[in-house]
Structure 1
Amino acid sequence: MELLPGGRKARRDHIFEETAMTITAQMVKELRDSTGAGMMDAKKALTEVNGDMEAAVDWLRTKGLAKAAKKADRVAAEGLVGVAVVGGKGVAVEVNSETDFVGKNADFQALVRGITTAALNAADLEALKAADLGGKPVETALNETIAVIGENMTLRRMASIEGDSVASYVHNAAADALGRIGVLVALKGADNGIGKQIAMHIAASNPLSLNEAAMDASVLERELAVQTQKALEENAASAKPKPEAVIQNNIIPGRMKKFLEEVTLVNQKFVVNPDITVAQAATEAGVEILGFVRMAVGEGIEKEKEDFAAEVAKMTQG
């Protein structure tokens, strides 16, 4: 411990206690749910990185205590995704609501279906809000439905895709072309049924990108950092350490190759026939995959969480 002028001891421990983030039980539970790590491991990870959730995931992974966590696994929101395809163009639209009951409401379903159809001729989300729906702007129709149902709703996003042919699939369907997950696949060549199979694969496997070239560079950098640190720590702890050249030229590249095989669509094992990749299945069907859209309700939205005790306390106040 350092000495200050006059011989006083610096109170670094006290300062640390004041500035360090408090690790709550809710944070530990969230990290456990998203990674499958044990309670004590999750708490230690959060403590090591001062409560940074993403850094805690990486810390657990470098110790071999967790798999990569997808943000979608940690989010919650309600509503529906609608899909529509006309010729070589497909669109997907997400409309959020406060509760899952609204997804079963006929008025809400009609609204989402109408908005999705209007999206076929809209360039972006702002254009979609102003597009015509039954003689009025989509945004007005949305507000009127909010007044009727009595629950807040949001037209959150849209995505479109084009190709020689476009296939669609809806998972957990609430009605025709409406559900919790909507998928579009654009193909070069005539679709002979392979498009829907690939769309179903995407719904189940949730690839991060079409291929390595289409992947966000920051995702690759983060994964490389995790795999490098993990390999170095494992090698340092090994009774028979390998030369650093082997680690850098063989082990780390091998792990990155495996990562890409797991998260890029064309390299994933095809769920219909795991003996071949999705790219091989497309080639055998005489088509090329140009791109895809996978839109899941609530993706990227985190609901505010409140512990039960706080909720009860709030109800008894006043």
Structure 2
Amino acid sequence: MAEITAALVKELRDRTGAGMMDCKRALAENGGDVEASIDWLRTKGLAAAAKKAGRVAAEGLVGVATDGTRGAMVEVNSETDFVAKNEQFQSFVRDVTNVALAGNITDADVLGAAAYPAGGTVTEALTQNIATIGENQSLRRSAIMSVKSGVVTAYVHNAAAPGMGKIGVLVALESTAGADVLEPLGKQLAMHVAAANPLALNGDDLDADLIARERAIAEEKAAQSGKPADIAAKMVDGGIAKFRKENALLSQLFVMDGKTPVAEVVAAAGKDVGATITLKGFTRFQLGEGIEKEESDFAAEVAAVAGV
């Protein structure tokens, strides 16, 4: 058997764009024959997947799954919204979300290495999807929520299929109250989170750097107002207090009535059933948030193809 040298691996990688470990494996499977290895990678869909890997994938689906006191959420990206309607892609998102739930997996790399229901690993199944669907796809992130007693409820906005859509939310309610009480409350709270996009559960939990930036903006506005220093300081403190209130879930006004703070909604629900209900936390995924999308000029693309 031919020696699998670094130079051979590099040559195969340069010619196919496949991953280094995939190239090494291909060469090992084919006795160091580069041409045979290229064909081997193509039959496995690995070369085709690698060529698509540079494309921006900011569409796709957020998947959610719950099981009583536990819930999982994943984001799987694709290049176009059309793929979100593809049954094969939807099936993959559903399966991966269930894998995350079963294994309590919060790390995308760990999830990628986990066993896929149909065989192989999640990453291998994703690679096969890329090859057959024809678009770059990526497993971006995963989240798990759990409570000792109570429920974790889920909601998806702009659902493309049951349990998957453009925005996914998990809400954790801890209580001895029954699921018949907690599930509807959790669903309403999850819908609120989807709409209001709180940044933290409590005002004190807001990111310190975010508060510092807001304070700097408030101080600049106060300085420009020409007010005396003591009044300006109160303006800044008032502005920060307002920012904390409007961006923390428990102090936000419930979207269902527009007037009751979420904390009071939860407390009232507990009082009605004679049991304490605690909103322990939430997780919200919005598809593609934070991914820099490529802006395309359709007219320019058509002109380029036409040679204009």
TM bucket by the smaller chain?
0.7 to 0.9
Q: Which residue of structure 1 lines up, in the alignment, with residue 16 of structure 2? A: none
| TM-score, L = length of structure 1 | 0.70
Q: Which residue of structure 2 lines up, in the alignment, with residue 299 of structure 1? A: 289
CA spacing shift, 1:76–1:269, aligned 2, 3 Å: farther
Is 1:188 aligned to residue 174 of structure 2?
Answer: yes
Q: Which residue of structure 2 lines up, in the alignment, with residue 110 of structure 1? A: 91
Q: Is the 8 A contact 1:268 1:278 kept in 2?
A: yes
Q: CA RMSD in A?
A: 1.9
- Partners of 2:249 and 2:171 lie apart in 1 by 11
Q: Which residue of structure 2 lines up, in the alignment, with residue 141 of structure 1? A: 125
Over residues 181-203 of structure 1, what are the superposed CA-to-partner deviations in whole Å (9 max), with x where a residue is unaligned?
A: 00000112141521110000000
Q: Which residue of structure 2 lines up, in the alignment, with residue 251 of structure 1? A: 235
State the shift of 1:308 in Å.
Answer: 5.4
State the shift of 1:204 in Å.
Answer: 0.5
For 1:220, give the aligned amino acid: I
Moved more, 271-280 or 302-311: 302-311
Q: Is the 8 A contact 1:122 1:131 kept in 2?
A: no
Q: Which residue of structure 1 lines up, in the alignment, with residue 156 of structure 2? A: 170
- Partners of 2:82 and 2:262 lie apart in 1 by 36
- Partners of 1:261 and 1:135 lie apart in 2 by 48
- Partners of 1:105 and 1:258 lie apart in 2 by 44
Counting only pairs closer than 5 Å after superposition, residues 1-318 of structure 1 correspond to structure 2 as 77-120=58-101, 121-123=103-105, 124-133=107-116, 134-163=118-147, 164=149, 165-189=151-175, 190=177, 191-233=182-224, 235-236=225-226, 242-248=227-233, 250-286=234-270, 287-307=277-297, 311=301, 314-315=304-305
Q: Is the 8 A contact 1:76 1:302 kept in 2?
A: no
Q: Which residue of structure 2 lines up, in the alignment, with residue 56 of structure 1? A: none
CA spacing shift, 1:159–1:192, aligned 2, 3 Å: closer
- Partners of 2:57 and 2:229 lie apart in 1 by 43
State the shift of 1:256 in Å.
Answer: 1.2
CA spacing shift, 1:222–1:300, aligned 2, 3 Å: same
For 2:172, give the aligned amino acid: A
Q: Is the 8 A contact 2:203 2:247 kept in 1?
A: no
Q: Structure 1 regions of 5+ residues with no counterpart?
A: 1-74, 237-241
- Partners of 2:208 and 2:139 lie apart in 1 by 29
Three-state SS of the structure 2 residue aligned to 1:285 is: helix
CA spacing shift, 1:83–1:289, aligned 2, 3 Å: same
Three-state SS of the structure 2 residue aligned to 1:270 is: coil
Over residues 84-123 of structure 1, what are the superposed CA-to-partner deviations in whole Å (9 max), with x where a residue is unaligned?
A: 1112111110000011011011111000000000001143
CA spacing shift, 1:78–1:161, aligned 2, 3 Å: same
State the shift of 1:135 in Å.
Answer: 2.1
For 2:123, give the aligned amino acid: E
Over residues 26-62 of structure 1, what are the superposed CA-to-partner deviations in whole Å (9 max), with x where a residue is unaligned?
A: xxxxxxxxxxxxxxxxxxxxxxxxxxxxxxxxxxxxx
For 1:85, give the aligned amino acid: T
Over residues 160-179 of structure 1, what are the superposed CA-to-partner deviations in whole Å (9 max), with x where a residue is unaligned?
A: 11123111101000010010
Q: How many residues align?
A: 237
State the shift of 1:316 in Å.
Answer: 5.1
| TM-score, L = length of structure 2 | 0.73
- Partners of 2:251 and 2:92 lie apart in 1 by 38
- Partners of 1:105 and 1:312 lie apart in 2 by 26
- Partners of 1:281 and 1:188 lie apart in 2 by 15
Over residues 251-295 of structure 1, what are the superposed CA-to-partner deviations in whole Å (9 max), with x where a residue is unaligned?
A: 111111111121111110001122210111111112111111100
- Partners of 1:207 and 1:307 lie apart in 2 by 34
Three-state SS of the structure 2 residue aligned to 1:275 is: coil
Identity of aligned residues (%): 49
- Partners of 2:250 and 2:305 lie apart in 1 by 52
